[in-house]
Structure formats: structure tokens, C-alpha cells
């Protein structure tokens, strides 16, 4: 069984969302424990350990290994800002 880790910045974003969106994202994140590679997931080119999946209007960027699924970032999916934030945070890791 894989463990789930959601970083603080993603939790803050999730907490600020409307109930409907928050519930959808939480359900999607929890479903990643059972199926870490859903049909809508894709690898981020140039950032090999990271994948992304969609949840309504939002995009979830995460990584998977044998024991852990780490949620790295949650952001608006039609907004390129989610990738700008990802690149900044990726450089700082």
C-alpha cells in the first residue's frame, strides 16, 4: 500500500476552494492511492518523476514511487501559472 503525502502549499490551495471543487480534488487525490496512473495522467516532459492528472477545473501534479504518492502542486488547469509555479518549486527542491 502506498502512503499519500500532500505538501503544505497544496493543502492551503485546497482549503481555499469552494466545497464542490475541494471535495472533487480530495476524492481524486485519494483515488490515486488505488490507481496512481489513471487514464488522464501524463508524465511531465523534462521532469521525469512527475505526472499530472486533471480534476474538473484543476490540475494535480504528483510523483509516485513504490511506497509514496506525493502531491506536489494543485492549480487551475487552463492557467499556465500552475506550470510556472511548478518550475519554480522544482528548482528549489
Q: Domains, the chain, ranges and CATH?
A: 3-92 (3.30.2310.20)
pLDDT one-digit tens code per residue, 28-73:
999 999 999 999 999 998 888 899 999 988 999 999 998 999 999 9
The whole-number average pLDDT for the span 24-29 is: 96
pLDDT at residue 70, rounded to an integer: 94
pLDDT at residue 80, rounded to an integer: 76
In this structure, what DSSP letter does residue 66 have?
A: S
For strands 58-64 and 3-6, give the pairing: unpaired
pTM of the model: 0.87
In angstroms, the Cα distances linking 55 to 26, 46, 67, 84 are 10, 22, 23, 19
Amino acid at each position: 500500500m502506498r502512503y499519500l503525502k500532500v505538501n503544505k502549499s497544496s493543502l492551503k490551495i485546497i482549503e481555499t476552494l469552494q466545497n464542490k471543487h475541494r471535495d472533487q480534488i480530495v476524492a481524486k487525490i485519494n483515488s490515486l492511492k488505488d490507481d496512481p496512473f489513471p487514464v488522464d495522467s501524463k508524465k511531465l516532459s523534462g521532469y521525469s518523476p512527475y505526472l499530472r492528472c486533471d480534476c474538473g477545473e484543476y490540475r494535480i501534479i504528483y510523483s509516485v514511487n513504490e511506497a509514496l504518492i506525493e502531491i506536489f502542486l494543485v492549480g487551475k488547469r487552463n492557467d499556465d501559472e500552475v506550470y510556472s509555479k511548478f518550475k519554480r518549486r522544482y528548482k528549489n527542491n
